[in-house]
Chain A
Amino acid sequence: MSESLNGKGLALVPKAEGKQTLKDFKSDQEVRWCPGCGDYAILAAVQSFMPELGIKRENTVFVSGIGCSSRFPYYMNTYGFHSIHGRAPAIATGLAASRPDLSVWVITGDGDALSIGGNHLIHALRRNVNLNILLFNNRIYGLTKGQYSPTSEVGKITKSTPMGSLDKPFNPISLAVGAEAGFVARTIDSDRKHLHSVLREAAAHRGTSLVEIYQNCNIFNDNAFEDLKDPDKRDVITLRLEHGQPIANASQAVRIAPTGGLEVVARDSISPEEILVHDVHNPDPSLAFALSRLDEPAFQHVPIGIFRSVDRPSYDHLMSEQLEMAVAQRGPGDLDELLQGGDTWKIN
């Protein structure tokens, strides 16, 4: 029975009557990010995407933590909850688990999701509540004015690391795949079309979807993703992941390495049959994980797109099923019967 919702992330959310537009999703609040911040592009992309879902606006909720990115809900004319640092996945879990009729979106940053909220993130992913987590990765702490983050490259010079940061960063995609995530994708603030295509699939996935969005912080970590935007470099570096298609661009291609992992080689050095064909539905996460490691060292070749989209029953649905089963087996709860249960005796 749980399987029937596979690929139908919005099946239980009521449909909107009439057509919605971008304007419907804009709140009356003045947007207060720094001019030029990548968050603007993501906001515009999300606002223009939401009408496409065709669900009731009032059944849409954006929940965020703390950070520049987490101001996002204030700008969406939906229900919204700007919570506390790192805890949005937990708060959204309670909301989505108790209200399957809602489309719940979590907005979080690299510090919010991977530092203070790391524990909630990994557990949300393995638990698979019907949530869409958008992780705005600018590889820096924006709101606190520029300290290095858990996705900053080693040696990052910031106010808190004047001689360079020492700790190895997380790769959010590897982390998510390792945390049993069913849906894992990466996209970039500057590519609205790609962003839309990924959001579409994330919303359709029933369970927790993690979308890493490369986001430029032009104040504290400008041009962190410049190579992916530079017209000369981007087509060489970017590896678009498309289900059923060979993983390759004009010059590079991915194949299974003799060691068993994946490797990127010059496209013309191998035959077309050798190029790995992407299968987002592969139940074995090994290849998705190996794909996530291809950008080591960073930005030589960066897979963009959906790494993994594998269905399994969502937690909220299984939870509802248990409640239904309990009622089916013994009938709905009766308070008097419950209170008088156990060993009772009567005094006249």
Chain B
Amino acid sequence: MTKQVQQLDRVIIRFAGDSGDGMQLTGDRFTAETASFGNDLSTLPNFPAEIRAPAGTLPGVSSFQLHFADHDILTPGDAPNVLVAMNPAALKANLSDLPRGADIIANADEFTKRNLQKVGYDVNPLEDESLAEWRLHSVPLTSLTVKALEEFDISKKDAERAKNMFALGLLSWLYGRPVEATIKFIETKFAKKPEIAKSNVAAFNAGYNYGETTEAFSVSYEIKPAPLSAGVYRNISGNQALALGLVAASVQSKLPLFLGSYPITPASDILHELSKHKRFGIRTFQAEDEIAGVGAALGAAFGGALGVTTTSGPGVALKAETVGLAVTTELPLIVVDVQRAGPSTGMPTKTEQTDLLMALFGRNGESPVPVIAPATPSDCFDAAVEAARIAIKYRTPVMLLSDGYLANGSEPWKVPAQAELPDISVEFTTAPNGDDGTTFLPFKRDAETLARPWAIPGTPGLEHRIGGIEKADGTGNISYDPNNHDLMVRLRQAKIDGIDVPDLEVDDPDGDARVLVLGWGSTYGPIAAAARRVRRGGGKVAQAHLRHLNPFPKNIGEVLKSYDKVLLPEINLGQLALLLRAKFLVDIISYNRVRGLPFKAEELAGVIQEVIDSE
């Protein structure tokens, strides 16, 4: 039977199942197939903080959403077109996100009386009319898998476990994905257990063939590759990009990287990734706590390393005093905060932009720190290199504000060649800098950057002491002189204020918009997608996105003042808005939602349109 092939320009699929069902892996594989096919894509994993919540319950549902298209896209998509529900809990937890008319592929085998009861279904929704407004495909995924694997010498449990590969096979057929890489992946993953490897490949193929032959699916879909610019691409998550950015920063600065870190969601993957790259001379140190992590990084920086510490909000709170020490000793340091929902433990696996004010002001004393926020998962690479550039050039701690959405989300990344990366190398000071030619003044500053010399232990003749007590300008000796303190406070501030950051660019295709939508950090995708929607509907909106939150780009005041209205969506209660209002006296219109989730493009498009209409 030949089946109809329908052309689509984009699809949003959400895989949902129990934490133990392997949905993240399934999603990852489908993403890899999609990437290698050449679609543009964006992903959003969503999983519970508990490692294995009770099976079959709503808190145990884990999902993975993938948006892919034949054109460039900016977000993982607002609402899925297809939901793969591996059990009743997955259906129940996700149905409210699913627009009417969307496809549901449900694993009928798991809709047992017991599982239905666990989530409060009195009647099996696959069998009554409650899903009539959706296109329901009720497929006995488990039993089909077990049947396909009859001939293998594996336990029933292992056979049942392969059902996610059956589902992946089915979806791969449905969307015409290339399958070779997945088969290779399964073979490598289970290289030590050949029977499991073979049965998983068989389950995957069975799923694919099922799609081809069953009458339950009469149509398959084609989504053409997206016209991306020429180059080598890989799919990359924010945490991975950030880690690679740090490796690149180490290579480009010619400084050995020292990471001091304490595990915390959602930042731990950076520690894991960097721990793999010892060949680059990278030392990763799992400390006893966050304070020790940043302390060790700072100690290493004193010794001439590129000191880095990675954490999430609760860890930044602990590190505050040491970051202050780095501010006053003027040593390079990178502090990565992968923000998560707070306060306190909050919702560890959910995203938020609520640490901005802590990053800027969360220390005692006048303690200015540059702050950089990447806009997309792959941008975490460039942001890490930029953070290192500033830290090294200006001898200052730098805060890099990623978040849970960037950390775990992924997108295709055009891989740069090393030759395209900036040279951020530095010369240690090796000779006395005093006017007499023999003394060393550890706090004599560079006239242009105001950076102090970086003379590392092992350098003869430059022995000196630094510390947290106020230092005399120039000599660095302990000083309690009031005027000296005032001078040092101002010098440290002036150094940060003078950092060279690029101007804020505005995207306004027609050039006559009167409303500016501004954002920072991970809201870039949803805001840009929303602006496109508004423009498609005839609305005029300009868009600008801040990457440097301290210091701000020099032209920001001018940009803000040249629009009638400035709309600022943030996943907090208006932290950047507070700053901009205070600094530039601009009446920012805030839009704030703090749900632990990224904005939806449709939602923001509505908000933008409202502001335009109110003109």
Contact = CB atoms under 8 A, between A and B. Distances in A.
Interface stretch (A194-202, A241-249, A300-308, A334-342): A334-342
A68 B295 CA distance: 21
A56 B460 contact: yes
Contacts of B244: 338-339
Contact of A338 (B236, B247, B305, B307): B247
The main secondary structure of chain B at its interface with chain A is: mixed
Contacts of B418: 335-336, 339
Interface string A36-62: 000000000000000000001111110
Interface in B287-321: 287-289, 291-292, 295-305, 307, 321
Contact of B288 (A29, A83, A123): A123
A298 interface: no
Interface stretch (B30-38, B348-356, B366-374, B396-404): B30-38
Contact of A332 (B35, B231, B279, B288): B279
Contact of A95 (B281, B282, B299, B463): B299
Interface in A73-87: 73-74, 76-84, 87
Interface stretch (B4-12, B466-474, B488-496, B585-593): B466-474
A81 B302 contact: yes
A74 B464 CA distance: 8
Contact of A333 (B229, B279, B415, B467): B279
B582 interface: no
A99 interface: yes
A336 B420 CA distance: 11
A23 to B, nearest CB: 14
Interface in B232-274: 232-236, 244, 247-248, 251, 256, 258, 260
B260 A120 contact: no
A87 B292 contact: yes
A330 B251 contact: no
Nearest to B228: A347
Contacts of A344: 232-234, 415
Interface residues of A, number: 60
Contacts of B233: 344-347
A286 interface: no
Interface string A316-341: 00010011011100111101101111
Interface residues of B, number: 70
Given A326-B278, A346-B232, A346-B233, A98 B283 contact: yes
A88 to B, nearest CB: 8
B416 interface: yes
A339 B420 CA distance: 12
A97 B467 contact: no
A82 B467 contact: yes
Given A56-B460, A73-B465, A82-B465, A94 B234 contact: no
A343 interface: yes
A292 to B, nearest CB: 23
B429 to A, nearest CB: 13
A204 interface: no
Given A58-B461, A99-B304, A345-B35, A331 B234 contact: no
Interface in A59-112: 59-61, 63, 66, 73-74, 76-84, 87, 90-99, 101-102
B502 interface: no
A196 to B, nearest CB: 22
A27 interface: yes
B295 A91 contact: yes
Interface string B200-244: 000000000000000000000000000011111111100000001
A259 interface: no
A27 B465 contact: yes
Contacts of B466: 80-82
Nearest to B287: A90
Nearest to B275: A322
B325 A343 contact: no
B457 A61 contact: yes
Contacts of B477: 29
B87 interface: no
Contacts, number: 206
A161 interface: no
Contact of A90 (B36, B235, B296): B296
Contacts of B278: 322-323, 325-327
A4 interface: no
Contacts of B258: 94, 97-98
Interface string B311-354: 00000000001101100010000000000000000000000000
Given A59-B457, A339-B418, A87 B232 contact: no
B383 interface: no
B295 A87 contact: yes
A276 to B, nearest CB: 35
A282 interface: no
A90 B234 contact: no
B595 interface: no
Contacts of A91: 295-296, 298-299, 302
Nearest to B227: A347
B459 A81 contact: no
B484 to A, nearest CB: 16
B266 to A, nearest CB: 20
A-B residue pairs, 10 tightest by C-beta:
A82-B467, A94-B296, A94-B299, A90-B295, A333-B280, A80-B465, A326-B278, A91-B299, A95-B299, A90-B292
Interface of B: 32, 35-36, 38, 181, 228-236, 244, 247-248, 251, 256, 258, 260, 277-283, 285, 287-289, 291-292, 295-305, 307, 321-322, 324-325, 329, 415-418, 457-469, 477-478
30 contacts: A56-B460, A58-B461, A63-B299, A74-B467, A79-B457, A81-B302, A82-B468, A82-B469, A87-B321, A90-B291, A90-B295, A93-B285, A94-B285, A94-B305, A94-B307, A95-B457, A96-B299, A97-B300, A98-B258, A322-B278, A323-B279, A331-B279, A335-B251, A335-B418, A336-B418, A338-B277, A339-B244, A345-B35, A347-B231, A347-B233
Given A90-B288, A94-B305, 19 more contacts: A56-B458, A57-B463, A77-B463, A80-B463, A81-B302, A81-B466, A84-B468, A90-B287, A93-B285, A95-B299, A102-B457, A102-B458, A322-B278, A323-B279, A326-B278, A333-B280, A335-B247, A342-B236, A343-B36
